[in-house]
Structure 1
Amino acid sequence: MTTAKTYTRSALVQPTLALCDAFASAAPVPVLLSHFTADPLPMVHEHGLPVLAPFLGRTFTGTDGVGRYFELIADLLSFEKMSFDGEDEWIVDTVSMAVSLRGRARFTWKETGEGWNETFCYRIGLAEDQGKGGGGLKVQEYRVWADTGAAYLARTHQLGEVQREFAERETKKSMERTRSGHGNLIGEGQRVYSGGSGTA
Structure 2
Amino acid sequence: MATSTRQELLRSAESFCNAFANDKPVEEILSHFSTTHSISCFEHGLPALAPFLGRAFTKPAEYLDTVAKYLTYENMKFFAYMIDAETRKVNVQGSARFTWIETHESWDEVFTYVLDFDHEAKITDWNVWADSGAAYLAKVGKLKDLKQ
Give the TM-score normalised by structure 1: 0.70
- Counting matched residue pairs gives 147
* Distance in 2 (alpha carbons) for counterparts of 1:121 and 1:25: 17
Q: Which runs of 5+ in 1 are unaligned?
A: 129-135, 165-200
2:125 to 123, 141, 153: 141
Letter in 1 for 2:93: R
After the TM superposition, list the runs of 4 or more consecutive aligned residues in structure 1 that deviate by more than 4 angstroms: none
2:143 alignment counterpart: 159
Matches within 5 A, 1:1-200: 8-61=5-58, 65-85=59-79, 89-128=80-119, 136-164=120-148
* Distance in 2 (alpha carbons) for counterparts of 1:118 and 1:41: 30
Specify which structure has the higher proportion of helix.
Answer: 1
* Distance in 2 (alpha carbons) for counterparts of 1:90 and 1:139: 15
- Higher Rg: 1
* Distance in 2 (alpha carbons) for counterparts of 1:125 and 1:145: 15
* Distance in 1 (alpha carbons) for counterparts of 2:62 and 2:4: 30
* Distance in 1 (alpha carbons) for counterparts of 2:31 and 2:6: 21
Give the TM-score normalised by structure 2: 0.94
Instruction: Give the number of the structure with larger relative contact order, counting CA–CA contacts within 8 Å between residues 6 or more apart.
Output: 2
RMSD: 1.5
* Distance in 2 (alpha carbons) for counterparts of 1:29 and 1:139: 15
